[in-house]
A and B are shown apart, each in its own frame.
Chain A
């Protein structure tokens, strides 16, 4: 029951996340959009777990752990770049190009 709508919602959430990454310019907002993508995947797993057994719910914990590890590393990197540049606007981070 409700599998179709749940998968639909997670697909929409995932698309919002992808669009956000492509459109927004602040590193923190982009990272939040990536987190939104991960959580859309979690919703997919939980919805599928109704039909396919508890595996899907276990996978959610893996994805959450990965997202937490990425958040820890990601914010450390964001702080490092802010110390150098005093900005998090991706358009201003253009030392490397060519």
Chain B
């Protein structure tokens, strides 16, 4: 009972973009509301609730399209409708909703009383959804920029914080630099193949044996460098710890989860769909990136004493695990990515939520030792944090373990044995900084009698932390349903050549190397 949508007509395109349109309307309505009501904490809370409602409505519309089985009629121009889009958009919307829920209490406490906070968060989410939906490199770029520009501002939204301003400047300069690489890569791929549509690029690269075409290779290389910056892969990671450190904690969680997942969703679609035929051109490069990112991120995290920076480096390590899923270049890899991204979003939002609660006097300065004795004072918070740490580590019984297992099996399935072994080695290294947090909480007494007296997780953040813990344990014990869903969603990530239309919108001759 699939519903076929003709993307060439305005009506069809509007239907395909309905979730993004709904979210845009919500963001604009919220901006109008903010123009009238921007007085204080009450208005800020109202803005947050409206944002949550908008995100929920968008999720509803997305699921409606998913249940209807909406499919593009023929070749997907600009955006596509497939399971991978619905699944990754669901993860992104979930991440945004949890970030808003963490923010509700946090912005009041930190006196960030600008309702634009939520408007920017919604618009950044629109950019992420566009990236997940894009079937054209220019649309990927537009989504990337809609997202990035908003997140630059969100990083520095606390104008009284000099750390926020410095983080915003660093993120902005390196983010814009990375965007330059992405768009130059797109320009060169366009020059080599004559199109920016993923399906057409796939056809042309596989039919014309362009693998050794210089312009295409340089284009793919630049595109990969740009994305490596965006997902903070070693050696393009140097901005990430500083930016994650200086940004407000809910925004750090939003960046570590949402921005990363959106960039990976676009990268996954580009590599599997458009560049699947020229896998030899990029597989080794991504392989190298994955290895240095896994090992480098985890080794650098070992040296950290502050929890916020430690989590920042740990998120670099997790980018390495996700790159492992990209290396396989198969639908199995994409399914493993979806599962891993879901677990990673939950665990990231939860861990930063606990950190925001424990670090009532500034989360930047919370050391791992400051978690000492949390288990006796705040048993539930400590239990949740322990689940998050074990899930990040990939301990059996948590969703993180299953996610890593599927990434590992995707790597092995495409004969990447060395990569699989290195992934296990990196996970063992990561135990060196995840387990001390658990040990501090459960095995050391609190340093002072009044420690943790005010580190309760309050309000909506309680739902985030509690919900994330429950889901992580539940998925860790019963992963098959979610995994089947992830597999089913990625079946049509690389559509076969079953369409009847002429593939190319423009039929200009190929460029040759001479002119």
Contact = CB atoms under 8 A, between A and B. Distances in A.
Contacts, number: 132
A80 B156 contact: yes
Contact of B190 (A34, A37, A52, A62): A52
Contacts of A17: 180
Contacts of A34: 173, 176-177, 180
B14 to A, nearest CB: 20
Chain A contact residues: helix, strand, loop or mixed: helix
A83 B162 CA distance: 9
B509 interface: yes
Interface in A5-48: 7, 14, 17-18, 21, 27, 30-31, 34, 37-38, 40-41, 44-45, 48
Contact of A81 (B165, B179, B304, B515): B165
Contacts of B153: 73, 76-77
Interface string B292-312: 000000000000101001000
B170 interface: yes
Given A4-B515, A69-B149, A95 B177 contact: no
A52 B191 contact: yes
Contacts of A91: none
B152 A44 contact: no
B318 to A, nearest CB: 20
The majority secondary structure among interface residues of chain B is: helix
Contacts of A52: 190-191, 194, 506, 508, 511
A74 B170 CA distance: 10
Most chain A CB inside 10 Å of its own CB: which residue of B142, B173, B242: B173
Interface stretch (B181-189, B281-289, B492-500): B181-189
B183 A81 contact: no
Contacts of A48: 187, 190-191, 511
A73 B149 contact: yes
A30 B194 CA distance: 32
A73 B176 CA distance: 11
Given A37-B177, A44-B188, A45-B187, A77 B156 contact: yes
Interface string B483-515: 000000000000000000000001011010001
A93 B166 CA distance: 7
Given A52-B506, A77-B168, A3 B180 contact: no
B202 interface: no
Residue from the set B141, B152, B184 with the largest chain A CB neighbour count within 10 Å: B184
B173 A63 contact: no
Q: Which of A14, A38, A69, A77 has the most CB of B within 10 A?
A: A77
B340 interface: no
B412 interface: no
B309 A81 contact: no
B496 to A, nearest CB: 26
Contacts of B162: 81, 84-85, 95
Contacts of A95: 162-163, 166, 246
B196 A63 contact: no
B22 interface: no
B188 A77 contact: no
Interface of B: 138, 141-142, 145, 149, 152-153, 156, 159, 162-163, 165-170, 172-173, 176-177, 179-180, 183-184, 187-188, 190-191, 194, 196, 241-242, 245-246, 304, 306, 309, 506, 508-509, 511, 515
27 contacts: A4-B515, A14-B180, A18-B180, A21-B177, A27-B169, A37-B177, A40-B184, A41-B184, A44-B184, A44-B188, A44-B191, A45-B187, A48-B187, A48-B191, A51-B511, A52-B511, A55-B196, A59-B190, A62-B138, A66-B141, A69-B145, A70-B149, A74-B152, A77-B153, A93-B166, A95-B163, A95-B246
Interface of A: 3-4, 7, 14, 17-18, 21, 27, 30-31, 34, 37-38, 40-41, 44-45, 48, 51-53, 55-56, 59, 62-63, 66, 69-70, 73-74, 76-78, 80-81, 83-85, 90, 93, 95-98
